Amino acid sequence: MTTARTAMVLAAGYGERMRPLTDTMPKPLVPLAGRALLDHVLDRLAAAGVETAVVNVHYLPEQIETHVQARADRAPKTLISDERALLLDTGGGTTKALSHLGDGPFFVHNSDSAWSEGVTPALANMLRVWDPARMDCLLLLAPLSTSIGYHARGDFDMTPDGRLSRRGERQVVPFAFAGVSLCTAALFEGAPQGPFSLNVLWDRALDKERLYGVRLDGRWMHVGTPEALKEAEASFEREGA
């Protein structure tokens, strides 16, 4: 099976929709079921075999740096990518960290993406499905029907073989992006300079029919607001996640 030894953890945003919790605390440190969201992510990456994670910082960066230092004896080894001077968005932030991520494959993981595992652990399943001959990028997708805290019309439709298409303007599609992707450094060849969204690179892959998805076998928790955090807490308690 494919292995991913490195990962990018996107932790630099302001978390504005999570206010007032994020007035004095960066969103990655907001607790969920007794652990910081960032710890949920790093522990899951370690369980999937990731040895080195790069965490980018911008908003209240010292708090994240202190938190990462306090878990220095726990896997994965965690490096800081400093975006204090300029917030680079998901694509620009990952591009800045490529020298630490290697050729890949590597995960790119939102710091606020949480879920309860189903029968098949999500990250291990992504590694099992990964096929660079067909794919430029593989996204973890959550069914709307079982997701918590997500109230939009979905992001992608998916064919039986996993190929993705985006939701049309008036369309409702069955899957939301669950905050994790798997790719190689090749995805970033010719990437824009400065701040940009990963969506730019995903659209490029879509045009070549090389953007694929894998369904989450579990319950995704879109922890975007204080209300959604409460829903996720209740779900963790029910499911023992």
Q: Is residue 95 part of a domain?
A: yes
Structural domain count of the chain: 1
Q: Mean pLDDT, the chain, as a whole number?
A: 91
Q: Is residue 150 part of a domain?
A: yes
Of 55, 6, 41, the closest CA to residue 112 belongs to 41
pLDDT attached to residue 156: 92
Task: Round to whole Å and give the CA distance between 159 and 56.
Answer: 33
- Residue 240 in this model has a pLDDT that exceeds 60: no
Q: Is residue 74 part of a domain?
A: yes
Q: Is residue 43 part of a domain?
A: yes
pLDDT attached to residue 239: 63
Of 43, 37, 34, the closest CA to residue 15 belongs to 37
1 or 154: which leads in pLDDT: 154
Q: Is residue 1 part of a domain?
A: no
Task: Write the pLDDT tens digit of every residue in 116-159.
Answer: 888 889 999 999 999 999 999 999 999 988 887 777 788 899 99
**Domain of 217, in residue numbers:** 6-239
41: CATH = 3.90.550.10
